[in-house]
Amino acid sequence: MIDPTKLKDWEIAELSEKNMKTVTVLAAELGLTEMEVLPYGHYIGKLDYKSILDRLQDKPDGKYIEVTAINPTPLGEGKTTTTMGLVQGLGKIGKKVTGAIRQPSGGPTFNIKGSAAGGGLAQCIPLTEFSLGLTGDNDAITNAHNLAMVALTSRIQHEFNYDDETLAKRGLKRLDIDPRNPAVGWAIDFSAQALREILIGLGGKMDGFMMKSGFQITVSSEIMAILAVAKDLKDMRERIGRMIVAYNKKGEPVTTADLEVDGAMTAIMAKAINPNLMQTIEGQPVLVHAGPFANIAIGQSSIIADRLGLKLADYHVTESGFGADIGFEKFWNLKCRFSGLTPNCSVIVCTVRALKMHGGGPRVVPGKPLDKAYTEENTALVEKGLDNLLKHIDTVRKSGIPAVVCINHFYTDTDNEIETIKKACRDAGARVAVSRHWEKGGEGAVELAEAVVEACNEKPDFKFLYSDDMPLEKRIALIAKEVYGADGVSYTPDARKKLDTISADASFAGMGTCMVKTHLSLSHDPTLKGRPTGWTLPIRDILVYQGAGFVVPVAGDIKLMPGTASDPAYRRVDVDTETGKVKGLF
């Protein structure tokens, strides 16, 4: 029996991997044919989504469960750990179950957050492959994105250097691109703050056009968003062709189709559209597809992965990024709108320690011992922090689907603290369960699994927060007030100008709204914990992801390229040169 209190997560994963099912066994247990699985080694495979969905098109869907959380704190809430634990718990009570989680980004993997495979006895394995590139989806996104930038910058250079007649001889029509108004920059899958703003094209005439540019992290790329929402390869191809990469000197959009690069970008992405098949420590199937960062991206496991899971199992558990204010809100109003799928319940993860921090607990400093407020009983702090949890319960209930609160148990939690949370949840109309999956795996998640099954027996009264025809400005205000708790919304002059332009352009009507906001607070200010009141949401920019199908309002000072901390995780990652095994991942 593995004791998670005495081992690091990567050590637990390494021990558990000795008993992994091969991908062929895992696929056979799901009822897949040999030709529907594309093996990548012995334990990982891609699934031929089209073949599977065509074959199972008449099979009823299973129950659809989403996992979200309270606003994150440095103490952690364990959302992916809970997702894996719930999948294992449902398996433990005899349910045929699949999970869907997002592939980790190299940014957090080598920075401070880690690889997001779960933890303790509730993990997705094999950990090394999961954390270090998997089957190359993120690399494909990086390359497809940057190919669009190569096409854009090359075209700018040629249009600057040659007259119309010369361009025509080369088969090119002048697009009259404005180099001062690009829509996107370059992408890299690391947290590289030094690349946020750069100058390119330094040198001579043949070295490119000199202009300002920059990088965003790969998971925030519109290509990642397209992977998350595309229904099939044809849909992906069309969406990639609509992606706006720049504007001409009249302010009109220039797309990848205008640059004639959309076909090549899709070719790079053709294999990435197939979800990856992995497993929990206890051998349940997990589909890994699309990426994280719901604060700066859509942050959802893909629609294709969920459609597969719903056909292959009686219960399908899918994960959304960060707290319900951004992860669940995007699942609710974007992902479900695009997929047409109706969820049966949502699980909101919290911990006693995180609620204490939302209640005004002492600041947590990485590397220093926790204050006694977090390790000893303090129901007063828990009660104060409940406001954050209750706001998220309210958000989920606005969607019309049942809410199940998971108290992700930690060994220092006391009965009085647990009971304080339970009473508040029940009073708010939510089911609540204590889960010990980190310590005990599926056995420790039985109470949670039973609560979820019970919630799934209810008939959801699902409804979106806003209609397709609601004006953008009203949508932003509605999300700010109803989900975040803001008093109102303000706009910088540049954001107001973009809002007016987008609102006046009929081609953008009906597009979804994908908010960019800090995940650390209900507000735009990461230092404001709990349930802030008396504040206004400041919108500083508005982006258009025409291919993905949504407009992206950017709130506060959040960046599309995170930074690397002073004590990043890569300092502890290494390879055993005798065995070739990677160690130190977490």
Q: Are 300 and 68 in contact (CB under 8 A)?
A: no
| Helix (H) or strand (E) run with residue 178 in it | strand 177-182
Shared-domain flag, residues 287 and 324: yes
| CA 448 – CA 405 distance, rounded (Å) | 9
| Number of residues written out for the chain | 586
| 215 tagged catalytic | no
| CA 423 – CA 463 distance, rounded (Å) | 27
In a domain, 582, yes or no: no
| CA 80 – CA 388 distance, rounded (Å) | 20
Shared-domain flag, residues 35 and 13: yes
pLDDT at 398: 97
**DSSP letters for 494-512:** HHHHHHHHHHH-GGGTT-E
Res. 74 pLDDT band, cuts 50 70 90: confident
Shared-domain flag, residues 141 and 128: no
| 81 tagged catalytic | yes
Q: What is the DSSP letter of 518?
A: -
Catalytic residue from among 209, 410, 535, 550:
410
| 373 tagged catalytic | no
| 190 tagged catalytic | no
Token readout for 330 is 């995007």
| 293 tagged catalytic | no
pLDDT at 358: 96
pLDDT at 567: 87
Query: pLDDT, tens digit, for every residue of 523-562?
Result: 999 999 999 999 999 999 999 999 999 999 999 998 889 9
pLDDT at 292: 86
**Coil, strand or helix at 183:** coil
Shared-domain flag, residues 395 and 445: yes
Res. 260 pLDDT band, cuts 50 70 90: very high
**Model confidence at 1: pLDDT above 80:** no
Q: What percent of the chain has pLDDT over 90?
A: 87
Catalytic residue from among 95, 102, 311, 475:
102
| CA 388 – CA 373 distance, rounded (Å) | 18
**DSSP letters for 428-493:** TT-EEEEE-HHHHGGGGGHHHHHHHHHHHTS------SS-TTS-HHHHHHHHIIIII--SEEEE-H
Q: Which residues contact 538 (CB under 8 A, 6 or more apart)?
A: 489, 490, 491, 492, 524, 555, 556
Domain range spanning residue 149? 137-255
Catalytic residue from among 46, 63, 79, 529:
79
pLDDT at 510: 84
Catalytic residue from among 438, 535, 550, 586:
438
Catalytic residue from among 63, 92, 95, 113:
113
Token readout for 342 is 């109706």
**Model confidence at 463: pLDDT above 90:** yes
Shared-domain flag, residues 206 and 130: no
In a domain, 288, yes or no: yes
Shared-domain flag, residues 246 and 211: yes
In a domain, 212, yes or no: yes
- pLDDT, average across residues 1-10: 88
Catalytic residue from among 190, 322, 328, 332:
322
| CA 77 – CA 388 distance, rounded (Å) | 13
Last residue of one domain, picked from the residues 230, 255, 280: 255
Shared-domain flag, residues 69 and 31: yes
Last residue of one domain, picked from the residues 203, 226, 255: 255
Please state which of the ranges 6-15, 30-39, 62-71, 111-120 shows the lowest mean pLDDT.
Answer: 111-120
Q: Are 137 and 292 in contact (CB under 8 A)?
A: no
pLDDT at 509: 84
Average model confidence (pLDDT) across the chain = 95
| CA 514 – CA 507 distance, rounded (Å) | 17
Shared-domain flag, residues 339 and 389: yes
* CATH code, domain with 63: 3.40.50.300
- pLDDT, average across residues 2-25: 93
Shared-domain flag, residues 361 and 314: yes
Last residue of one domain, picked from the residues 255, 283, 310: 255
Catalytic residue from among 80, 81, 83, 135:
81
Residue 472, CA distances (Å) to 378, 498, 537, 539 in order = 44, 11, 15, 13
| CA 372 – CA 59 distance, rounded (Å) | 53
Shared-domain flag, residues 329 and 378: yes
Catalytic residue from among 140, 151, 294, 297:
294
Please state which of the ranges 10-14, 81-85, 151-155, 259-263 shows the lowest mean pLDDT.
Answer: 10-14
| 332 tagged catalytic | no
Q: Which residues contact 276 (CB under 8 A, 6 or more apart)?
A: 40, 44, 45, 46, 47, 103, 134, 135, 137, 287, 288, 289
| 63 tagged catalytic | no
* CATH code, domain with 497: 3.10.410.10
**Model confidence at 496: pLDDT above 80:** yes
Shared-domain flag, residues 324 and 443: yes
Q: Which residues contact 504 (CB under 8 A, 6 or more apart)?
A: none
**Model confidence at 63: pLDDT above 90:** yes
Query: pLDDT, tens digit, for every residue of 30-46?
Result: 999 999 999 999 999 99
The sheet carrying 253-255 orders its strands as 177-182, 244-248, 253-255
Res. 122 pLDDT band, cuts 50 70 90: very high
Shared-domain flag, residues 434 and 327: yes
* Number of structural domains the chain divides into: 3
pLDDT at 116: 83
